[in-house]
């Protein structure tokens, strides 16, 4: 089991656009396994490779979301994903492993169709609604350097950034006091 460090905001790595995966090799399979090990230990529904510092178009998600009988470790993989269709609109609260302890309401499409590749390199097209549609949109945003806070109103973005500055000042003060 290899648990990876989840990169947190405001690290600039999270703003990188990811490159498409080109090879299905041992390194890619190890990354997928390590991401699954990591996601199994945190309260998240999905995890993009960029969140663990790897700028490749890949994310894993819990396929059992919304199922009556959730499967244990039911992580699925989407590689080089692209949203090809979206419909409707839904406004719900969202959070992110890279922005711990912060949640806010975000507008997303209610239904999405995504095409990409599975872990074996087979082309797939998946249509999902509800929570899984939200997860897909959230993770694909990560692969494009977009965070859910970018989808907030300007007022809410301002409040978020003031909160972050306050936390950074508090951390700096605590570090300074710790050195005395």
The whole-number pLDDT of residue 50 equals: 98
Assign residue 49 the CATH number of its domain.
3.90.45.10
pLDDT at 67 over 80: no
Q: Domains in the chain: how many in total?
A: 1
**Cα separation of 155 and 27, whole Å?**
42
Helix (H), strand (E), coil (C) string for the chain? CCCCCCCCCCCHHHHCCCECCCCCCHHHHHHHHHHHHHHCCCCCCEEEHHHHCCCECEEEEECCCCCCCCCCCCEEEEEEEEEEEEECCEEEEEEECCEEEEEEEEEECCEEEEEEECCCCCEEEEEEEHHHHHHHHHHHHHHCCCCHHHHCCHHHHHHHHHHHHHHHHHHHHHHHHHHC
For residue 173, is the peptide bond before it cis, meaning its omega torsion is within 30 degrees of 0? Answer: no
Instruction: Give per-residue burial for 35-64: e unless 16+ CB within 10 Å, then b.
Output: bbebbeeeebbbbbbbbbebebbbbbbbbb
Does 47 reside within a domain?
Answer: yes
Environment class of residue 112 by beta-carbon count within 10 Å: exposed (0-12), middle (13-18) or buried (19+)? buried
The whole-number pLDDT of residue 180 equals: 61
Its domain, for residue 80, covers: 12-152
Q: Read off the pLDDT of residues 136-180 as tens digits, 9 standing for 90 and up.
A: 999 999 999 999 999 999 999 999 999 989 988 998 888 888 776
Does 31 reside within a domain?
Answer: yes
Annotated catalytic residues are 139
Does 157 reside within a domain?
Answer: no
User: What are the C-alpha distances in Å from 120 to residues 26, 32, 35, 43, 78?
Assistant: 11, 11, 16, 27, 10
Closest CA to 55 of 173, 176, 144, 116: 144
Does 22 reside within a domain?
Answer: yes
Please state which of the ranges 5-9, 18-22, 58-62, 68-72 shows the lowest mean pLDDT: 68-72
Does 176 reside within a domain?
Answer: no
Does 166 reside within a domain?
Answer: no
Prediction pTM value = 0.91
Does 167 reside within a domain?
Answer: no
């Amino acid at each position: 089991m290899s648990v990876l460090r989840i990169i947190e905001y405001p690290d600039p790595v999270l703003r990188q656009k990811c490159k498409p995966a080109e090879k299905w090799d041992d390194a890619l399979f190890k990354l997928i396994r390590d991401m699954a090990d990591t996601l199994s230990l945190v309260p998240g529904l999905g995890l993009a490779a960029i969140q663990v510092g790897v700028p490749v178009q890949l994310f894993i998600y819990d396929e059992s979301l919304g199922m009556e009988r959730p499967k244990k470790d039911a992580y699925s993989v989407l590689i080089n994903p692209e949203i090809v269709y979206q419909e409707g609109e839904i406004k719900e609260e969202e959070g992110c492993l890279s922005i711990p302890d912060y949640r806010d309401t975000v507008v997303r499409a209610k239904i999405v169709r995504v095409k990409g590749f599975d872990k074996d390199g087979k082309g797939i097209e998946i249509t999902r609604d509800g929570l899984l549609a939200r997860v897909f949109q959230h993770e694909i945003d990560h692969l494009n350097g977009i965070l859910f806070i970018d989808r907030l109103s300007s007022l809410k973005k301002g409040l978020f950034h003031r909160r972050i500055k306050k936390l950074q000042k508090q951390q700096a003060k605590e570090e300074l006091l710790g050195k005395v």
